[in-house]
Amino acid sequence: MDTTELEMKVIRFITEKVENASASMITTASKFEELGLDSMDTIQLLFDAEDAFGISFEGEEVKGFRSVGDIIDYISKHPPESKQ
């Protein structure tokens, strides 16, 4: 999956999970707090993203997630393992 396709999928996912969010208002630079998410909402969003994208957020870098772009960057660097 190329970066543009991944961005579109993550943004679509966020619009489905975040109340009052639309794809036209979300960019890779959008901060979670700008989308109305507090820390607990952000944690839930990350749990949901793990399920939706077949990944597992691990390591210290996840603690620094502040924007939509952070999710996209992580997924692009840690793609889901293909199932055999």
Domain at 70, CATH number: 1.10.1200.10
Residue 52 domain flag: yes
**84 lies in some domain:** no
pTM higher than 0.85 for the full model? Answer: yes
pLDDT digits (tens, 9 = 90+) for 22-42: 999 999 999 999 999 999 999
Residue 72 falls inside a structural domain: yes
Examine residue 82 and state whether it is found in any structural domain, yes or no.
no
Q: Answer with the residue of higher pLDDT: 46 or 80.
A: 46
Is 31 inside any structural domain?
Answer: yes
* Full domain range(s) for residue 52: 3-77
Calculate the alpha carbon distances from 37 to 30, 33, 79 in Å.
11, 5, 25
What is the count of structural domains for the chain? 1
Q: What is the distance between the alpha carbons of residues 74 and 7, in angstroms, rounded to a whole number? A: 12
